[in-house]
A and B are shown apart, each in its own frame.
Chain A
């Protein structure tokens, strides 16, 4: 490319070229071209859709006919929609049931991995495996494990002499089954992230603590946990953002347990998460306008909840 070689003396020698903006673009056009695919795709499948969904949330539309102006009425309805509030409650309960055991187990696993010298990579590989698996496949497995009539969990309960539980048919059974699935799939992933954080803690700190006579429990709470706080924050925020938007787990697990919709989330809608409700309103009821309003409602809940979580972890850091 001869032009590229010619350019430096020209631009250095005469900064005031006759057509400054044009030559600026001509000089950089290949750079803009190189980054353009992402921005073009985002424009078509990101920015325009998000703007359109805001517009849509103020209209009634079934996806085929003409749109009707609805003003704020769909948002007003959303606030009084008991099904939507029910889905918020379900989502938060499932999130809590999955996230706290997961973080606890992941932390313990990471600490153990950090002190185990042998087979570390074998362990890491094994712990990461659940996260590689597709949610669909694993939801099918868990559906059979939690099955009322022949499931392994009930068989174990029966062997111990406890009455069978209709896991996928009761409000709490459904939530526990979904949360167990999520915990299983994400504990190892987060343990490996925690492990990476643990490895950055200087060993001198531990030595100093041992010199001062600190026991393992004291060391964990006084050194490990505070040093791990940034990583904990990362894990908590990521699992909040993904956990509050859970869809595939309840959908596959419960798609055939109720008659009205594959997005109903089981009997009594007790496993219906926010995103499942969004799918039901939009693609089962063809209520595209209201679906858009629900999507913005979900967005708001996720943002608010992420901020609350962020604050909680940070404030504890100031103590």
Chain B
């Protein structure tokens, strides 16, 4: 042992430093790989189709971005679709935050007959795969006359098992019983306790759930593709996939411009809540 340590020490300092550099170099390589498709999308959105199809490939941004934006707006109702996406993602997020946190509050802090059975049921529901329900859902919504409208996307997503489970775990540790007892003695009703005692304490948990719900809804594709049967009234993701025309004839410059512009609202939401997400994601997995 002593012999080993003796030979290692002198190398140690210089070794640590070169190892640190190697570490950061490989980490930066990973970052470049993560970022490359974004860069590539920028390249393509600033070139015309003929430039894109030429060899060697263009590696630096071009000057045709505004042209591509114009043909994008000519080909799809970009702002109409974006309005639909904002409407769906926004309303679902609002409803999920309200319904999930209210249910979670009950499960975390109250006792009532049947509570354990109901919560176990919730966890089972968590695991039912989506396509098992897809056909009947479609049939039910057709009967209700919701197919083709945003209602078909908003209503079924208004509350979910994941969010209730997540908020319950959060509330269990974040809301102290003394606080609730005190408000109860003051005569606060159930809804007042929820609104004035519980919600202010669990804001970080709500932020995480809200951002995740918004991103999930913004990016959702399979169900909107089926449920939105009118090609002129769709969400942004479905509109983008419509642009991806027959192979070889796709106007890639235009499609990439659309893909990039569709990312902007999402990146804003993510940048605002990044700390929340990245920090809490880990905690959730360990629990």
Residues B24-71 near A (CB distance < 8 A): 24, 26-27, 30-31, 33-35, 37-38, 40-41, 44, 52-57
Interface membership of chain A positions 175-203, coded 1 if the CB is closer than 8 angstroms to chain B and 0 otherwise: 00000000010001100110111011000
Which chain A residues (198-244) contact chain B, with CB distance < 8 Å? Answer: 199-200, 213, 231, 234, 241
Contact assessment for A292 and B156 in the assembled complex, using a CB-CB cutoff below 8 Å? no
One of B72-80, B169-177, B199-207, B274-282 contacting the partner: B274-282
Q: What's the least CB distance linking A21 to chain B, in Å? A: 10
* Nearest CB of chain B from residue A297's CB, rounded to whole Å: 11
Tell me whether B4 is interfacial, beta carbon within 8 Å.
Answer: yes
Given A34-B105, A45-B140; A136-B221 close (CB under 8 Å): yes
Q: Contact between A31 and B132 (Cβ–Cβ < 8 Å)?
A: no
- Give the contacting residue for A197; candidates B134, B140, B226, B286; CB below 8 A: B286
Evaluate contact between A247 and B189: CB separation under 8 angstroms: no
> Do residues B190 and A34 form an inter-chain contact, with CB atoms below 8 A?
yes
Which A residues, 1 to 60, have Cβ-Cβ distances below 8 Å to chain B? 1-2, 4-5, 24, 28, 30-32, 34-35, 37-39, 41-42, 44-46, 48-50, 52-53, 56
Q: Which of B93-108 contact A (CB under 8 A)?
A: 99-100, 102-103, 105-107
- CB-CB under 8 A from B190, the residues of chain A are 1, 4, 30-31, 34
Taking a contact as CB atoms under 8 Å apart, the answer to whether A256 and B34 are in contact is no
A170 part of interface (Cβ distance < 8 Å): no
Chain B residue nearest to A298 in the complex (CB): B131
Query: In the complex, are the beta carbons of B103 and A37 less than 8 A apart?
Result: yes
CB-CB under 8 A from B139, the residues of chain A are 52, 63, 288
Q: Is there a chain B Cβ closer than 8 Å to A90's Cβ?
A: no
Compute how far the CA of A257 lies from the CA of B248 in the bound complex, rounded to whole angstroms.
10
A85 within 8 A of B: no
Most A C-beta atoms less than 10 A away, residue of B103, B131, B132, B225? B131
Interface of A is mostly: helix
Q: Which residues of B contact A37 (CB under 8 A)?
A: 99, 102-103, 158-159
A231 adjacent to B286 (CB under 8 Å) = yes
B118 within 8 A of A: yes
* Distance between Cα atoms of A111 and B16 in the complex (Å): 16
Chain A hits for B246, CB < 8 A: 256
Q: Is the CB of A129 within 8 A of B278?
A: no
> Which A-chain residue is minimally distant from B130 (CB atoms)?
A245
Contacts of A143 in B (CB 8 A): 244
Q: Give CA–CA (A144, B24) in the complex, Å.
A: 30
The answer on a CB contact under 8 Å between A282 and B37 is: no
Report whether A193 and B263 are in contact in the complex, using a CB–CB cutoff of 8 Å.
no
Q: Mark A246-274, 1 if CB is under 8 A from B, else 0.
A: 01100110011100000000000000000
Query: Does the CB pair B56–A134 fall under 8 Å?
Result: no
For window 254-287 of B, CB contacts with A under 8 Å fall at: 255-256, 259-260, 262-263, 266-267, 270, 274-275, 277-278, 281-283, 285-286
B244 adjacent to A288 (CB under 8 Å): no
Contacts of B228 in A (CB 8 A): none
Interface contact B281-A132, CB-CB below 8 Å: no
Asked if A308 lies at the interface with its beta carbon under 8 angstroms from chain B, I say: no
Contact A38 B221 (CB under 8 A): no
Contact B248 A196 (CB under 8 A): no
Give B246's nearest chain A residue, CB to CB.
Answer: A256
The answer to whether A145 touches B221 (Cβ under 8 A) is no
Cβ B259 vs Cβ A137 within 8 A: yes
Partner of A56, one of B27, B125, B136, B140: B136
B128 interface residue (CB < 8 Å to A): yes
When distances are taken between beta carbons in the complex, the residues of chain B under 8 Å from A53 are 132-133, 135-136
**A292 and B35 alpha carbons, distance in the complex (Å):** 40
A255–B281 CB distance below 8 A: no
A233 to B164, CA, bound (A): 23
Instruction: Point out the residues of chain B lying under 8 angstroms from A245, CB to CB.
Output: 129-131
- Our pick among A24, A32, A137 for the contact of B262 (Cβ within 8 Å) is A137
Q: A128 — which chain B residues lie within 8 A by C-beta?
A: 274, 277-278
Contact (Cβ within 8 A) A112 B27: yes
**Contact assessment for A292 and B274 in the assembled complex, using a CB-CB cutoff below 8 Å:** no
Beta-carbon contacts under 8 Å, A41-95 to B: 41-42, 44-46, 48-50, 52-53, 56, 63
Q: Would you call B160 an interface residue if the criterion is a C-beta within 8 Å of the partner chain's C-beta atoms? A: yes
Quick check: A127 and B247 within 8 Å, CB to CB? no
Judge whether B145 is part of the interface by a CB distance below 8 angstroms.
Answer: no
**A149: Cβ under 8 A from any B Cβ:** yes
Are the CB atoms of A49 and B137 closer together than 8 Å? yes
| Chain B residues within 8 Å of A24, by CB | 113
Whether B256 contacts A140 by the Cβ 8 Å rule is yes
Taking Cβ atoms with an 8 Å cutoff, the residues of A that contact B are 1-2, 4-5, 24, 28, 30-32, 34-35, 37-39, 41-42, 44-46, 48-50, 52-53, 56, 63, 109, 112-113, 115-116, 118-119, 121, 123-130, 132-138, 140-145, 149-150, 152, 155, 158-159, 168, 184, 188-189, 192-193, 195-197, 199-200, 213, 231, 234, 241, 245, 247-248, 251-252, 255-257, 275, 278-279, 282-283, 288, 291-292, 295-296, 298-299, 302
A-B residue pairs in contact (CB < 8 Å), sample of 11: A31-B112, A34-B103, A49-B134, A50-B128, A125-B278, A136-B240, A137-B41, A137-B237, A140-B255, A256-B244, A283-B226
